[in-house]
Amino acid sequence: MNPTSEILDQMPPADPEAERWVIGSALLQPACLDGLTLKPEDSHTEHYGQVFAWLLDRRHRGEPIDFGLLERHFDSDDWMARIAEICDSVPVAAHAGHYARIVARLAKLRTLRAAGLRLLQNAHDPARDPAEVLEQAEAELAAVRMVAGEGEPVTIADAAEQAMLRIDEVQRRGASVGLPTGLFSFDNDQGGLFPGELTILAARPGGGKTSLALQIAAYTAARGRPVYFASLEMSAVELATRLACAEYGVSNRLVRAGKLHDAETADLSEALNQQAQMPLDVHDRGRLTVAEIRRQIRKRQKQGLALAVIDYLQLVAPHDARLPREQQVASTVRALKEAAREYGVPILCLCQLNRQANADEIPRLSQLRESGAIEQDADVVLFLSKREPTYDRPHNAVLTVAKNRNGETGHLKLNWDGPRTQFDDPAAPAPFEDFAPFGEG
Protein backbone atom coordinates (compact mmCIF):
# COMPACT_ATOMS: atom_id res chain seq x y z
CA MET A 1 0.00 0.00 0.00
CA ASN A 2 1.18 3.54 -0.75
CA PRO A 3 2.67 5.08 2.45
CA THR A 4 1.08 8.43 1.56
CA SER A 5 -2.36 6.83 1.35
CA GLU A 6 -1.82 5.17 4.72
CA ILE A 7 -1.05 8.55 6.30
CA LEU A 8 -4.10 10.19 4.72
CA ASP A 9 -6.32 7.38 6.00
CA GLN A 10 -5.16 7.87 9.56
CA MET A 11 -7.16 9.90 12.06
CA PRO A 12 -5.73 13.35 12.85
CA PRO A 13 -3.59 13.38 16.00
CA ALA A 14 -5.64 13.99 19.15
CA ASP A 15 -5.78 13.02 22.82
CA PRO A 16 -9.41 13.02 24.04
CA GLU A 17 -8.25 11.92 27.47
CA ALA A 18 -6.07 15.02 27.89
CA GLU A 19 -8.98 17.16 26.71
CA ARG A 20 -11.20 15.58 29.37
CA TRP A 21 -8.56 16.15 32.04
CA VAL A 22 -8.38 19.87 31.19
CA ILE A 23 -12.16 20.20 31.59
CA GLY A 24 -12.20 18.16 34.79
CA SER A 25 -9.34 20.20 36.27
CA ALA A 26 -11.16 23.44 35.45
CA LEU A 27 -14.34 22.22 37.12
CA LEU A 28 -12.48 21.12 40.22
CA GLN A 29 -10.18 24.15 40.38
CA PRO A 30 -11.61 27.02 38.24
CA ALA A 31 -8.64 29.25 39.08
CA CYS A 32 -6.41 27.07 36.89
CA LEU A 33 -8.14 28.58 33.82
CA ASP A 34 -6.27 31.85 34.45
CA GLY A 35 -2.95 30.21 33.59
CA LEU A 36 -4.07 28.44 30.40
CA THR A 37 -3.52 29.76 26.87
CA LEU A 38 -5.64 26.97 25.39
CA LYS A 39 -8.52 27.91 23.08
CA PRO A 40 -11.84 26.04 22.67
CA GLU A 41 -11.04 25.31 19.01
CA ASP A 42 -7.93 23.43 20.14
CA SER A 43 -10.22 20.60 21.28
CA HIS A 44 -10.60 17.87 18.69
CA THR A 45 -13.84 16.63 20.26
CA GLU A 46 -16.58 19.18 19.55
CA HIS A 47 -18.48 18.65 22.82
CA TYR A 48 -15.33 19.15 24.88
CA GLY A 49 -14.66 22.36 23.00
CA GLN A 50 -18.16 23.62 23.79
CA VAL A 51 -17.78 22.87 27.51
CA PHE A 52 -14.33 24.49 27.61
CA ALA A 53 -15.70 27.61 25.85
CA TRP A 54 -18.43 27.84 28.52
CA LEU A 55 -15.86 27.49 31.29
CA LEU A 56 -13.65 30.22 29.83
CA ASP A 57 -16.59 32.56 29.32
CA ARG A 58 -17.74 32.13 32.93
CA ARG A 59 -14.23 32.65 34.26
CA HIS A 60 -13.60 35.77 32.17
CA ARG A 61 -16.88 37.26 33.36
CA GLY A 62 -15.94 36.55 36.97
CA GLU A 63 -18.99 34.30 37.38
CA PRO A 64 -19.03 31.09 39.44
CA ILE A 65 -18.46 27.65 37.95
CA ASP A 66 -20.19 24.56 39.32
CA PHE A 67 -21.98 21.41 38.20
CA GLY A 68 -25.46 22.89 38.65
CA LEU A 69 -24.79 25.84 36.34
CA LEU A 70 -23.19 23.53 33.81
CA GLU A 71 -26.21 21.20 33.91
CA ARG A 72 -28.60 24.13 33.47
CA HIS A 73 -26.63 25.44 30.48
CA PHE A 74 -26.34 22.15 28.57
CA ASP A 75 -29.57 20.58 29.89
CA SER A 76 -28.46 17.01 29.28
CA ASP A 77 -28.50 14.17 31.84
CA ASP A 78 -26.16 12.16 29.64
CA TRP A 79 -23.67 15.00 29.54
CA MET A 80 -23.77 15.46 33.31
CA ALA A 81 -23.03 11.80 33.88
CA ARG A 82 -20.06 12.05 31.52
CA ILE A 83 -18.79 15.22 33.20
CA ALA A 84 -18.92 13.49 36.58
CA GLU A 85 -16.86 10.64 35.16
CA ILE A 86 -14.42 13.17 33.71
CA CYS A 87 -13.89 14.83 37.08
CA ASP A 88 -13.38 11.47 38.75
CA SER A 89 -10.78 10.51 36.11
CA VAL A 90 -8.55 13.59 36.50
CA PRO A 91 -5.19 12.39 37.87
CA VAL A 92 -4.15 15.73 39.46
CA ALA A 93 -6.20 18.89 38.90
CA ALA A 94 -3.16 21.06 39.65
CA HIS A 95 -1.52 19.64 36.50
CA ALA A 96 -4.04 21.39 34.21
CA GLY A 97 -1.26 23.33 32.48
CA HIS A 98 0.51 20.11 31.50
CA TYR A 99 -2.70 18.61 30.10
CA ALA A 100 -3.42 21.83 28.20
CA ARG A 101 0.04 21.80 26.60
CA ILE A 102 -0.62 18.26 25.30
CA VAL A 103 -3.91 19.41 23.75
CA ALA A 104 -2.33 22.56 22.24
CA ARG A 105 0.60 20.62 20.74
CA LEU A 106 -1.72 18.15 19.02
CA ALA A 107 -3.98 20.99 17.84
CA LYS A 108 -0.99 22.58 16.13
CA LEU A 109 -0.13 19.26 14.47
CA ARG A 110 -3.71 19.05 13.16
CA THR A 111 -3.42 22.58 11.81
CA LEU A 112 -0.19 21.65 10.04
CA ARG A 113 -1.83 18.49 8.70
CA ALA A 114 -4.73 20.54 7.31
CA ALA A 115 -2.29 22.97 5.68
CA GLY A 116 -0.43 20.03 4.13
CA LEU A 117 -3.67 18.59 2.77
CA ARG A 118 -4.59 21.94 1.21
CA LEU A 119 -1.12 22.12 -0.33
CA LEU A 120 -1.56 18.63 -1.74
CA GLN A 121 -5.00 19.50 -3.10
CA ASN A 122 -3.78 22.73 -4.71
CA ALA A 123 -0.73 20.97 -6.16
CA HIS A 124 -3.05 18.54 -7.95
CA ASP A 125 -4.87 21.40 -9.68
CA PRO A 126 -3.18 21.89 -13.08
CA ALA A 127 -4.72 25.36 -13.40
CA ARG A 128 -2.95 26.72 -10.32
CA ASP A 129 0.22 28.79 -10.53
CA PRO A 130 2.98 26.94 -8.60
CA ALA A 131 4.29 30.21 -7.14
CA GLU A 132 0.82 31.05 -5.87
CA VAL A 133 0.43 27.60 -4.31
CA LEU A 134 3.81 27.92 -2.59
CA GLU A 135 3.05 31.40 -1.23
CA GLN A 136 -0.32 30.26 0.13
CA ALA A 137 1.28 27.30 1.88
CA GLU A 138 4.04 29.45 3.38
CA ALA A 139 1.51 32.05 4.53
CA GLU A 140 -0.47 29.32 6.34
CA LEU A 141 2.68 27.94 7.96
CA ALA A 142 3.74 31.44 9.00
CA ALA A 143 0.30 31.93 10.57
CA VAL A 144 0.80 28.76 12.62
CA ARG A 145 4.19 30.03 13.73
CA MET A 146 2.78 33.42 14.76
CA VAL A 147 -0.28 31.99 16.52
CA ALA A 148 -1.26 33.98 19.59
CA GLY A 149 -0.57 32.55 22.98
CA GLU A 150 2.84 31.01 22.30
CA GLY A 151 4.77 33.76 24.04
CA GLU A 152 4.41 33.94 27.79
CA PRO A 153 4.46 37.28 29.62
CA VAL A 154 7.78 38.25 31.21
CA THR A 155 8.20 39.90 34.58
CA ILE A 156 9.26 43.54 34.71
CA ALA A 157 12.34 42.32 36.58
CA ASP A 158 13.40 40.23 33.57
CA ALA A 159 12.66 43.14 31.23
CA ALA A 160 14.69 45.49 33.43
CA GLU A 161 17.65 43.10 33.36
CA GLN A 162 17.55 42.91 29.57
CA ALA A 163 17.25 46.69 29.34
CA MET A 164 20.35 47.10 31.54
CA LEU A 165 22.31 44.68 29.36
CA ARG A 166 21.33 46.69 26.27
CA ILE A 167 22.35 49.97 27.94
CA ASP A 168 25.69 48.45 28.99
CA GLU A 169 26.31 47.29 25.43
CA VAL A 170 25.61 50.75 24.02
CA GLN A 171 27.93 52.33 26.59
CA ARG A 172 30.65 49.78 25.90
CA ARG A 173 30.49 50.41 22.18
CA GLY A 174 30.14 54.15 22.58
CA ALA A 175 27.58 54.05 19.78
CA SER A 176 24.06 52.95 19.01
CA VAL A 177 23.22 49.29 18.50
CA GLY A 178 21.24 50.40 15.45
CA LEU A 179 22.38 49.83 11.87
CA PRO A 180 24.22 52.91 10.51
CA THR A 181 22.78 54.42 7.34
CA GLY A 182 25.80 56.50 6.35
CA LEU A 183 23.87 59.75 6.92
CA PHE A 184 25.79 61.38 9.78
CA SER A 185 22.95 63.46 11.22
CA PHE A 186 20.44 60.62 11.15
CA ASP A 187 22.83 58.11 12.68
CA ASN A 188 23.97 60.60 15.32
CA ASP A 189 20.49 61.82 16.28
CA GLN A 190 18.38 58.69 15.74
CA GLY A 191 20.91 55.87 16.14
CA GLY A 192 20.33 54.37 12.67
CA LEU A 193 17.84 51.62 11.81
CA PHE A 194 17.02 49.15 14.58
CA PRO A 195 16.46 45.37 14.42
CA GLY A 196 12.81 44.42 14.73
CA GLU A 197 11.56 47.83 13.60
CA LEU A 198 9.63 48.79 10.47
CA THR A 199 10.76 52.13 9.03
CA ILE A 200 8.65 53.80 6.35
CA LEU A 201 10.44 56.15 3.92
CA ALA A 202 7.86 58.20 2.02
CA ALA A 203 8.16 60.77 -0.75
CA ARG A 204 6.35 62.03 -3.81
CA PRO A 205 7.05 60.26 -7.13
CA GLY A 206 10.54 61.28 -8.23
CA GLY A 207 11.34 62.47 -4.72
CA GLY A 208 14.49 60.36 -4.43
CA LYS A 209 13.29 57.63 -2.09
CA THR A 210 14.72 54.80 -4.22
CA SER A 211 18.03 56.64 -4.49
CA LEU A 212 18.27 57.11 -0.73
CA ALA A 213 17.22 53.52 0.01
CA LEU A 214 19.78 52.17 -2.47
CA GLN A 215 22.42 54.44 -0.95
CA ILE A 216 21.70 53.06 2.54
CA ALA A 217 21.62 49.48 1.23
CA ALA A 218 24.97 49.92 -0.52
CA TYR A 219 26.51 51.60 2.52
CA THR A 220 25.48 48.59 4.60
CA ALA A 221 26.55 45.94 2.09
CA ALA A 222 29.89 47.68 1.47
CA ARG A 223 30.75 46.88 5.06
CA GLY A 224 30.14 43.18 4.58
CA ARG A 225 26.62 43.20 6.06
CA PRO A 226 24.09 41.25 3.95
CA VAL A 227 21.17 43.20 2.48
CA TYR A 228 17.97 42.01 0.77
CA PHE A 229 16.47 44.58 -1.64
CA ALA A 230 12.98 43.81 -2.99
CA SER A 231 12.63 46.04 -6.05
CA LEU A 232 9.12 45.96 -7.47
CA GLU A 233 9.64 48.90 -9.81
CA MET A 234 13.21 48.88 -11.12
CA SER A 235 15.25 45.96 -12.43
CA ALA A 236 18.43 44.74 -10.78
CA VAL A 237 20.41 45.94 -13.82
CA GLU A 238 18.98 49.45 -13.47
CA LEU A 239 19.84 49.54 -9.78
CA ALA A 240 23.39 48.27 -10.38
CA THR A 241 23.89 50.91 -13.08
CA ARG A 242 22.58 53.68 -10.86
CA LEU A 243 24.83 52.55 -8.02
CA ALA A 244 27.91 52.47 -10.25
CA CYS A 245 27.13 55.95 -11.62
CA ALA A 246 26.78 57.29 -8.10
CA GLU A 247 30.10 55.80 -7.02
CA TYR A 248 32.13 57.55 -9.75
CA GLY A 249 29.96 60.60 -10.37
CA VAL A 250 28.92 59.56 -13.87
CA SER A 251 25.59 60.84 -15.13
CA ASN A 252 23.06 58.06 -15.68
CA ARG A 253 21.68 60.13 -18.57
CA LEU A 254 24.96 59.71 -20.47
CA VAL A 255 24.81 55.95 -19.92
CA ARG A 256 21.31 55.77 -21.38
CA ALA A 257 22.28 57.97 -24.31
CA GLY A 258 25.45 55.99 -25.04
CA LYS A 259 27.67 59.08 -24.76
CA LEU A 260 30.29 57.94 -22.27
CA HIS A 261 33.98 58.71 -22.67
CA ASP A 262 36.45 55.83 -22.43
CA ALA A 263 37.55 56.95 -18.96
CA GLU A 264 33.94 56.96 -17.74
CA THR A 265 33.36 53.51 -19.18
CA ALA A 266 36.46 52.24 -17.36
CA ASP A 267 35.26 53.83 -14.10
CA LEU A 268 31.86 52.17 -14.38
CA SER A 269 33.47 48.84 -15.15
CA GLU A 270 35.60 49.16 -12.03
CA ALA A 271 32.56 50.12 -9.93
CA LEU A 272 30.56 47.14 -11.22
CA ASN A 273 33.44 44.77 -10.48
CA GLN A 274 33.58 46.12 -6.93
CA GLN A 275 29.80 45.74 -6.59
CA ALA A 276 30.15 42.06 -7.35
CA GLN A 277 31.89 41.66 -3.98
CA MET A 278 28.98 43.15 -2.00
CA PRO A 279 26.49 40.88 -0.15
CA LEU A 280 23.51 42.69 -1.72
CA ASP A 281 20.69 40.57 -3.18
CA VAL A 282 18.18 42.32 -5.46
CA HIS A 283 14.79 40.69 -5.94
CA ASP A 284 13.38 42.46 -9.00
CA ARG A 285 9.98 40.89 -9.54
CA GLY A 286 7.11 43.18 -10.49
CA ARG A 287 4.64 41.24 -8.35
CA LEU A 288 5.83 40.18 -4.92
CA THR A 289 3.64 39.13 -2.01
CA VAL A 290 4.44 39.59 1.65
CA ALA A 291 4.64 35.80 1.96
CA GLU A 292 7.43 35.71 -0.65
CA ILE A 293 9.24 38.66 0.95
CA ARG A 294 9.04 36.92 4.34
CA ARG A 295 10.42 33.73 2.79
CA GLN A 296 13.41 35.58 1.36
CA ILE A 297 14.09 37.34 4.67
CA ARG A 298 13.78 34.07 6.56
CA LYS A 299 16.29 32.37 4.22
CA ARG A 300 18.86 35.11 4.73
CA GLN A 301 18.27 35.73 8.42
CA LYS A 302 20.32 32.65 9.31
CA GLN A 303 23.24 34.11 7.32
CA GLY A 304 23.18 37.35 9.33
CA LEU A 305 20.87 39.52 7.24
CA ALA A 306 21.41 43.13 8.38
CA LEU A 307 18.73 44.99 6.40
CA ALA A 308 15.69 44.37 4.20
CA VAL A 309 14.44 47.06 1.80
CA ILE A 310 11.07 47.01 0.01
CA ASP A 311 10.59 49.38 -2.93
CA TYR A 312 7.74 50.08 -2.60
CA LEU A 313 4.70 49.38 -0.36
CA GLN A 314 1.87 50.10 -2.78
CA LEU A 315 3.29 47.66 -5.35
CA VAL A 316 3.37 44.66 -2.98
CA ALA A 317 0.71 42.19 -4.15
CA PRO A 318 -2.13 41.91 -1.60
CA HIS A 319 -2.87 38.62 0.13
CA ASP A 320 -6.58 39.06 -0.70
CA ALA A 321 -7.33 41.19 -3.77
CA ARG A 322 -11.04 41.21 -2.88
CA LEU A 323 -10.48 43.47 0.12
CA PRO A 324 -10.81 47.27 -0.17
CA ARG A 325 -7.51 48.85 -1.16
CA GLU A 326 -6.99 50.49 2.23
CA GLN A 327 -7.39 47.14 4.00
CA GLN A 328 -4.95 45.51 1.54
CA VAL A 329 -2.25 48.06 2.35
CA ALA A 330 -2.99 47.86 6.08
CA SER A 331 -2.63 44.07 6.00
CA THR A 332 0.69 44.38 4.14
CA VAL A 333 2.10 46.89 6.64
CA ARG A 334 1.05 44.74 9.57
CA ALA A 335 2.67 41.65 8.03
CA LEU A 336 5.93 43.52 7.38
CA LYS A 337 5.98 44.74 10.96
CA GLU A 338 5.46 41.16 12.18
CA ALA A 339 8.31 39.98 9.93
CA ALA A 340 10.67 42.63 11.33
CA ARG A 341 9.91 41.53 14.89
CA GLU A 342 9.95 37.81 14.18
CA TYR A 343 13.30 37.80 12.37
CA GLY A 344 14.95 40.63 14.31
CA VAL A 345 15.84 42.56 11.14
CA PRO A 346 15.31 46.27 10.36
CA ILE A 347 12.93 46.64 7.42
CA LEU A 348 13.02 49.84 5.38
CA CYS A 349 9.85 50.09 3.31
CA LEU A 350 9.36 52.83 0.74
CA CYS A 351 5.96 54.43 0.34
CA GLN A 352 4.15 56.86 -1.96
CA LEU A 353 2.55 60.04 -0.68
CA ASN A 354 -0.94 60.90 -1.89
CA ARG A 355 -1.71 63.74 -4.29
CA GLN A 356 -2.44 66.16 -1.47
CA ALA A 357 1.27 66.34 -0.71
CA ASN A 358 2.61 69.68 -1.94
CA ALA A 359 6.06 69.58 -3.46
CA ASP A 360 6.97 72.85 -1.70
CA GLU A 361 5.95 71.76 1.79
CA ILE A 362 7.11 69.22 4.36
CA PRO A 363 4.73 66.22 4.06
CA ARG A 364 2.33 65.25 6.85
CA LEU A 365 1.43 61.81 8.22
CA SER A 366 -2.10 62.20 6.87
CA GLN A 367 -0.64 62.27 3.36
CA LEU A 368 0.62 58.68 3.45
CA ARG A 369 -1.09 57.09 0.51
CA GLU A 370 -4.01 54.66 0.90
CA SER A 371 -3.86 53.73 4.56
CA GLY A 372 -3.85 55.24 8.02
CA ALA A 373 -2.49 51.90 9.26
CA ILE A 374 0.93 52.92 7.91
CA GLU A 375 1.21 55.62 10.56
CA GLN A 376 -0.22 53.30 13.21
CA ASP A 377 1.93 50.20 12.66
CA ALA A 378 5.27 51.67 11.56
CA ASP A 379 7.90 52.27 14.23
CA VAL A 380 9.49 55.14 12.31
CA VAL A 381 8.09 57.28 9.49
CA LEU A 382 10.52 59.34 7.41
CA PHE A 383 9.59 61.93 4.78
CA LEU A 384 12.04 62.86 2.03
CA SER A 385 11.42 66.16 0.28
CA LYS A 386 13.42 68.30 -2.14
CA ARG A 387 13.29 72.08 -2.10
CA GLU A 388 14.77 75.07 -3.87
CA PRO A 389 17.81 76.27 -1.91
CA THR A 390 17.79 79.83 -0.57
CA TYR A 391 20.40 82.10 0.99
CA ASP A 392 19.21 81.15 4.48
CA ARG A 393 18.72 77.48 3.60
CA PRO A 394 21.40 76.44 1.08
CA HIS A 395 20.53 72.73 1.42
CA ASN A 396 18.12 71.43 -1.22
CA ALA A 397 16.59 68.41 0.54
CA VAL A 398 15.10 67.57 3.93
CA LEU A 399 14.72 64.24 5.72
CA THR A 400 11.89 64.59 8.23
CA VAL A 401 11.47 62.15 11.11
CA ALA A 402 7.68 62.49 11.38
CA LYS A 403 7.17 59.58 13.79
CA ASN A 404 9.54 57.72 16.05
CA ARG A 405 8.03 55.28 18.49
CA ASN A 406 11.24 55.16 20.54
CA GLY A 407 12.83 58.53 19.92
CA GLU A 408 12.49 62.13 18.84
CA THR A 409 11.13 63.70 15.68
CA GLY A 410 12.55 66.57 13.67
CA HIS A 411 14.12 67.70 10.39
CA LEU A 412 17.57 66.83 9.03
CA LYS A 413 19.27 68.78 6.25
CA LEU A 414 20.54 66.96 3.16
CA ASN A 415 22.06 67.92 -0.18
CA TRP A 416 20.75 66.20 -3.32
CA ASP A 417 23.26 65.61 -6.12
CA GLY A 418 21.05 64.98 -9.15
CA PRO A 419 23.69 63.74 -11.64
CA ARG A 420 25.00 61.23 -9.07
CA THR A 421 21.49 60.46 -7.70
CA GLN A 422 22.97 60.72 -4.18
CA PHE A 423 22.20 62.52 -0.93
CA ASP A 424 25.03 64.10 1.07
CA ASP A 425 24.91 65.26 4.67
CA PRO A 426 26.21 68.84 5.10
CA ALA A 427 26.53 68.27 8.86
CA ALA A 428 29.10 65.50 8.48
CA PRO A 429 32.27 66.48 10.40
CA ALA A 430 34.56 65.30 7.59
CA PRO A 431 34.18 65.11 3.83
CA PHE A 432 31.15 62.83 3.51
CA GLU A 433 31.67 59.53 1.74
CA ASP A 434 28.54 57.81 0.52
CA PHE A 435 30.22 54.40 0.56
CA ALA A 436 33.21 52.88 2.22
CA PRO A 437 35.57 51.04 -0.13
CA PHE A 438 33.70 47.99 -1.39
CA GLY A 439 34.47 44.87 0.57
CA GLU A 440 35.52 46.72 3.74
CA GLY A 441 34.79 44.67 6.85
Residue 322 confidence (pLDDT): 75
Dihedral angle of Cα 199, 204, 206, 207, to the nearest 10 degrees = -60
Whole-angstrom distance, CA of residue 397 vs CA of residue 414: 5
Residue 370 confidence (pLDDT): 64
∠295-286-362 over CA atoms, to 5°?
95
Residue 254 confidence (pLDDT): 60
110-132 burial code (b ≥16 CB/10 A, e <16): ebeeebeeebeebeeeeeeeeee
Residue 326 confidence (pLDDT): 79
User: Strands 227-231 and 307-311, how do they pair?
Assistant: parallel
Residue 309 confidence (pLDDT): 94
Residue 437 confidence (pLDDT): 36
Residue 348 confidence (pLDDT): 95
User: For the whole model, what pTM was predicted?
Assistant: 0.66
Name the residue type at position 71: E
**CB within 8 Å of 172: residues ≥ 6 apart:** none
**Which residues, given as ranges, of the chain have pLDDT below 70?**
1-8, 75-81, 135, 142-143, 145-155, 167, 169-177, 248-262, 264, 267, 271, 355-361, 369-371, 388-395, 430-441
∠367-370-374 over CA atoms, to 5°?
75
- Domain-wise residue ranges, the chain: 3-145, 177-424
Whole-angstrom distance, CA of residue 55 vs CA of residue 63: 10
Whole-angstrom distance, CA of residue 43 vs CA of residue 124: 30
Residue 438 confidence (pLDDT): 32
Superfamily of the domain at 177-424: P-loop containing nucleotide triphosphate hydrolases (3.40.50.300)
Residue 440 confidence (pLDDT): 36
Whole-angstrom distance, CA of residue 149 vs CA of residue 104: 10
Give bridge partners of residue 351 from the DSSP assignment.
202
CATH class label, 3-145: mainly alpha
